[in-house]
């Protein structure tokens, strides 16, 4: 194996050419606290592929900046594996996969076939009434205050409540789950993340045991009564499914809601357009999904490969930042402009390839319900004078604080 070369305060593996090294991290990029998506634009001025020492939890990875390269990686799971991409079970000294996210084909396909019907448009239509009811309660409570933090009052509790209802768990657990979610995904210290990971696992273990004794019609019951390869799922597989549903649907929806409403608060003309022309709302949601793509995926090289001039080695990590795909000016003209009449809105925010998001129909429904309700109950909302929104670019990009005033 080649010897590492010392560049500055980090080591570069011998197979990485020095001209492909760029010391860059999403979380600390200049401007990430005001607008993570603007902070990314500097990357398009550099090479399409580079290696950075601390992009992922402080660990090294290759980063690809262009839409077509990102799609190529996502569609080639034999070379770019999804194993170990979250690190959640390893965080607590265990070794089970999030299912189906961390499974590669052909194994992946059987879990996906099992789970696809759970989130089909028909299934989503079935739960729409309860999702809308939850959203309406939260929006009405917040709206009555005249001003407040949209994240704390609505965008964060809403997807948690939807998750609890899908899992057949009581809505009273919302604050508890919000705390665990915050610890796991945004914990200030490694201990915070570990404590939250253990707490979630312990809680889900209890629920799984309970549903094994007495199945109902919720998702946990579905998992405990399902079979793959003609045998029932084992405890680790059920945990992998339940745990993924917890982490997959919370931050993603909350973040997207945060960025959508931040944009509409800052751009009164676009807000008026959606009030005056409700028929534009589906296109507006797609345009916002394109421009505010909040998730980043990770892949692990299974073999040595020359990827468009980058000498990648088996065991290297690749960061797939979906926002870089949505903001690529070779794919979308004037990509930073939010244009609800844009013709090409075929974005990759829900991924492409075998892992494309299973919850996209549910997510789109949640976004639409939220958009309708906030526009209805919070007239002329804007950033509260003297305050400012706070965002982050660690893990899933998101909005921490969105102080709005309306009426
Ligand atoms: C705006 C909201 C959402 C966004 C932007 C989003 C984005 C994504 C992306 C990019 C992936 C692919 C990850 C990869 O290739 O490594 C994915 C997969 C997944 N998402 Fe979502 N997601 C959202 C909402 C949801 C919701 C609400 C659910 C739950 C019901 C969900 C469940 C999943 C699952 C289970 C997978 C794994 C699919 C597989 O590996 O085959 N997502 N999502």
Q: How confident is the model at residue 6 (pLDDT cuts 50, 70, 90)?
A: very low
Q: What are phi and psi of 53, to 5 degrees?
A: -80, -15
pLDDT of residue 399: 96
| Spatial distance between the Cα atoms of 45 and 36, rounded to a whole number of angstroms | 16
* CA distance linking residue 209 with residue 229, whole number of Å: 22
Query: What CA–CA distance (Å, rounded) separates 289 from 282?
Result: 11
The full set of domains in the chain, from first to last, is: 5-405 (1.10.630.10)
% residues pLDDT > 70 (the chain): 97
Tens of pLDDT, residues 173-187: 989 998 998 898 888
At residue 4 the predicted structure's pLDDT band, cuts being 50, 70 and 90, is very low
Kindly give the distance from the C-alpha atom of residue 69 to the centroid of ligand 1, in angstroms, as a whole number. 20
The mean pLDDT of 366-371, rounded to a whole number, is: 98
pLDDT of 2 > 70? The answer is no
Stretch 7-34: mean pLDDT = 86
Burial 369-395 (b: 16+ CB within 10 A, else e): bbbbbbbebbeebbebeeeebebbbbb
What local confidence, expressed as pLDDT, does residue 139 receive? 98
The whole-number pLDDT of residue 8 equals 57
What is the per-residue pLDDT for 57?
62
Lowest mean per-residue pLDDT among 77-81, 341-345, 386-390 = 341-345
Of the given ranges (85-94, 213-222, 343-352), which has the lowest mean pLDDT? 85-94
Helix ranges (DSSP H) in 21-61: 36-40
Residue range 309-313: mean pLDDT, rounded:
98
Tens of pLDDT, residue by residue over 156-175, are 999 988 988 888 888 899 89
% pLDDT > 90, the chain: 75
Q: What pLDDT was estimated at residue 132? A: 95
- pLDDT of amino acid 323: 97
Cα(298)–Cα(73) distance, integer angstroms: 10
Mean pLDDT of 1-22: 74
- What mean pLDDT do residues 288-292 have? 98
Q: Which pLDDT score, from 0 to 100, does residue 246 have?
A: 84
Q: What is the mean pLDDT of residues 382-391?
A: 96
The whole-number pLDDT of residue 1 equals 36
Nearest CA residue ID for atom 17, ligand 1: 357
Distance 351 CA to ligand 1 centre (A): 8
How far is the centre of ligand 1, averaged over its atoms, from the C-alpha of 141 (Å)? 29
**Highest-pLDDT range among 84-93, 224-233, 266-275:** 266-275
What is the rounded CA–CA span in Å between residue 406 and residue 381? 4
So what's the pLDDT on residue 56? 62
Determine the Cα–Cα distance for residues 170 and 214; give it in Å rounded to an integer: 16
Residue 325's pLDDT is what? 97
Give the mean model confidence (pLDDT) for residues 235-254: 90
pLDDT band at 3 (very low <50, low <70, confident <90, very high): very low
Task: Kindly tell me if the per-residue pLDDT of 293 is higher than 70.
Answer: yes
**Is the model's pLDDT at 119 over the cut of 60?**
yes
Residue 85: pLDDT over 70:
yes
Mean pLDDT (the chain, rounded) = 92
Q: Average pLDDT of 268-280?
A: 98
Mutate to test the pocket of ligand 1, among 99, 116, 287, 359 (most ligand atoms within 8 A of CB): 359
* Residue ranges around ligand 1 (CB below 6 Å): 74, 82, 100-101, 112, 119, 244-245, 248-249, 252-253, 256, 294-295, 297, 322, 349-351, 355, 357-359, 362-363
Structure tokens belonging to residue 74: 């996502």
């Amino acid at each position: 194996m080649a010897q590492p070369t010392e560049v500055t305060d980090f080591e570069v593996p011998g197979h990485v050419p020095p001209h492909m090294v760029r010391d860059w991290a999403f979380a600390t990029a200049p401007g990430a606290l005001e607008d993570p998506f603007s902070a990314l634009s500097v990357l398009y001025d550099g090479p399409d592929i580079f290696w950075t020492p601390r992009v992922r939890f402080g660990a090294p990875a290759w980063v690809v900046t262009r839409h077509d390269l990102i799609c190529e990686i996502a569609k080639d799971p034999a070379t770019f594996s999804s194993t170990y991409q979250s690190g959640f079970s390893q965080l607590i000294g265990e070794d089970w996969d999030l299912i189906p996210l961390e499974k590669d084909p052909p194994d992946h396909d059987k879990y996906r076939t099992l789970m696809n019907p759970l989130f089909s448009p028909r299934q989503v239509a079935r739960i729409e009434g309860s999702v809308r009811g939850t959203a309406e309660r939260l929006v009405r409570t917040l709206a009555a205050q005249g001003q407040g933090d949209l994240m704390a009052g609505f965008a964060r509790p809403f997807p948690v409540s939807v998750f609890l209802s899908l899992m057949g768990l009581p809505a009273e657990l919302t604050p508890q789950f919000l705390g665990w979610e915050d610890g796991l995904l945004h914990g200030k210290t490694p201990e915070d993340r570990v404590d939250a990971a253990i707490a979630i696992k312990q809680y889900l273990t209890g629920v799984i045991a309970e549903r094994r004794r007495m199945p109902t019609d919720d998702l946990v019951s579905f998992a405990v009564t399902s079979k793959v390869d003609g045998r029932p799922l084992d405890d680790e597989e059920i945990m992998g499914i339940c745990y993924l549903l917890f982490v997959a649907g919370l931050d993603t929806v909350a973040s997207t809601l945060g960025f959508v409403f931040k944009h509409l608060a800052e751009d009164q003309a676009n807000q008026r357009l959606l009030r005056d022309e409700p028929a534009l709302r589906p296109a507006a949601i797609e345009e916002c999904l394109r421009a505010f793509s909040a998730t980043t995926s990770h892949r692990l090289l299974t073999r040595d490969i020359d990827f468009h001039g980058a000498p990648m080695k088996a065991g290297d990590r690749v960061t797939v930042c979906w926002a870089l795909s949505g903001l690529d000016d070779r794919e979308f003209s004037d990509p930073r402009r939010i244009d609800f009449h844009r013709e090409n809105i075929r974005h990759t925010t829900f991924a492409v390839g075998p892992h494309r998001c299973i919850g996209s129909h549910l997510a789109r429904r949640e976004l639409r319900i939220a958009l309708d309700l906030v526009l209805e109950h919070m007239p002329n909302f804007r950033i509260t004078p003297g305050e400012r929104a706070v965002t982050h670019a660690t893990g899933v990009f998101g909005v921490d604080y969105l102080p709005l005033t309306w009426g």
